[in-house]
């Protein structure tokens, strides 16, 4: 893979003697969805799928980008003096946003770069291809220019750039998982405090299977920001009757006692999901620590129902995939994962049921929706870093 990327780099940008190579993973969230901007807990893990980068410093301020995923766009040129978002910049708005965010923090980029990237995360799948690209860029800049930033800083810089440069009001989970991932572990992260612990994901007789619905979504254009605004309004309404900083501060019982302060049925449903999903994430990690995979699976299922009915971020194709999964013996749990409105499901499937799971759901999904789904039996990998 790296030799191929270096060869492509040489074709586009000339000699590659002084290039360096990088990788940042995508992520799947096992449970704790849409809690990361509501002060709750999340439980993501880094994947072995992700974004590769090959980069080299330049002598001038020019930025040259090339992606093997968007070959038709060719080499896209920009300049360090022109770090502004624009439609014509297409995918390069993500790395440019990270460069802008570094400079906002006072880290002046001393020169331009040539950057070639290749990602094997399906675009629009909800496995965080954008966060992976942001974290990759953060690692490139840290390594190339010797910036004194931690991996947590890189995650925060990536989130800041996506919020303020690319206009998607995402939480910290995706960037944190990509930057801080650890092989065979998920990250139990309190998004309110950024306290975290690694929890081994020991599935002795089961696998994590991701299904890509092949329904693409764009969080910037979707109702994602609407959901966040609804939760923020609900929080303000609750704060008139109870002393809390975030929705994640409430237990289910406390929410039920005070929910009438929220003056809209829609906002009540949104806040209920945020509160209950946070508690599900806490319970799920406890279950995993006790090797109680069955309880973990039941909490995954309940998470999907809440995302479908209360948060309303699912869609017909995703619901079909989850319903088909629930009907198969050997499926421990299944749910939508990611921002929603398409993308992927994540399931825990017993080893002896994986082949049947793929064949049965693959055939029935195509019959129902008219196109094929993609299946990934995934491994949990390490976070972002330098490859050579």
CA distance 78 to 92: 9
The residues facing 27 across adjacent strands are: 46
- Of 323, 304, 326, nearest to 314 (Cα)? 304
CA distance 384 to 179: 5
CA distance 90 to 110: 24
CA distance 155 to 131: 9
CB 293 within 8 A of CB 332: yes
174 is catalytic: yes
Tell me the C-alpha to C-alpha distance, in Å, between residue 300 and each of 72, 95, 266: 40, 33, 23
Angle (deg, nearest 10), helices 265-289 and 224-238: 100
Residues with Cβ within 8 Å of residue 363, at least 6 apart in sequence: none
3-state SS of the chain: helix, strand, coil percent to 5?
45, 20, 35
Structure tokens belonging to residue 13: 């940008």
Given the residues 36, 174, 190, 310, the one annotated as active site: 174
CA distance 11 to 15: 8
CA distance 25 to 212: 17
CA distance 284 to 300: 8
What's the alpha-carbon Rg for the chain, to the nearest Å? 21
CA distance 245 to 235: 8
DSSP secondary-structure letter at 182?
B
Residues recognised as catalytic: 174
């Amino acid at each position: 893979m790296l030799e191929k990327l270096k060869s492509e780099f040489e074709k586009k940008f000339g000699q590659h003697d002084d290039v360096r190579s990088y990788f940042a993973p995508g992520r799947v969230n096992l449970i704790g969805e849409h809690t990361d901007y509501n002060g709750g807990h999340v439980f993501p893990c880094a994947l072995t799928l992700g974004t590769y980068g090959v980069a080299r410093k330049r002598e001038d301020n020019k930025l040259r980008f090339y992606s093997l995923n968007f070959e038709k766009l060719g080499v896209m040129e920009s300049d360090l003096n022109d770090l502004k978002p624009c439609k014509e910049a297409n995918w390069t708005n993500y790395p440019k946003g990270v460069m802008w965010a570094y400079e906002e923090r006072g880290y002046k980029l001393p020169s331009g770069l040539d950057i070639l990237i290749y990602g094997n995360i399906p675009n629009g799948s909800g496995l965080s291809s954008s966060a992976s690209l942001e974290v990759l860029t953060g690692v490139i800049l840290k390594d190339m220019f010797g910036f004194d930033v931690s991996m947590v800083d890189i995650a925060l810089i990536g989130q800041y750039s996506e919020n303020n440069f690319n206009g998607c009001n995402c939480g910290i989970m995706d960037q944190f998982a990509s930057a801080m991932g650890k092989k065979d572990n998920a990250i139990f992260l309190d998004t309110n405090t950024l306290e975290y612990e690694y929890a081994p994901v020991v599935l002795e007789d089961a696998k994590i299977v991701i299904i890509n619905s092949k329904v693409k979504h764009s969080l910037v254009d979707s109702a994602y920001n609407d959901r966040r605004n609804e939760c923020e309004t609900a929080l303000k309404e609750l704060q008139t009757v109870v002393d809390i900083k975030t929705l994640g501060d409430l237990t289910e019982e406390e929410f039920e006692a005070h929910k009438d302060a929220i003056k809209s049925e829609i906002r009540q449903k949104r806040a209920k999901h945020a509160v209950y999903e946070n508690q599900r994430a806490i319970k799920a990690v406890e279950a995993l620590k006790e090797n109680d995979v069955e309880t973990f699976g039941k909490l995954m299922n309940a998470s999907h129902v809440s995302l479908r009915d209360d948060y309303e971020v699912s869609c017909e194709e995703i619901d079909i995939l989850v319903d088909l999964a629930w009907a198969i013996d050997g499926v421990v749990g299944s749910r939508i994962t990611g921002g929603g409105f398409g993308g992927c499901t994540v399931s825990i499937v017993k080893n002896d049921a994986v082949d049947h799971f793929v064949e049965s759901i693959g055939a029935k999904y195509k019959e129902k929706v008219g196109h094929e789904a993609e299946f990934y039996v995934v491994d949990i990998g390490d976070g972002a870093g330098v490859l050579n």
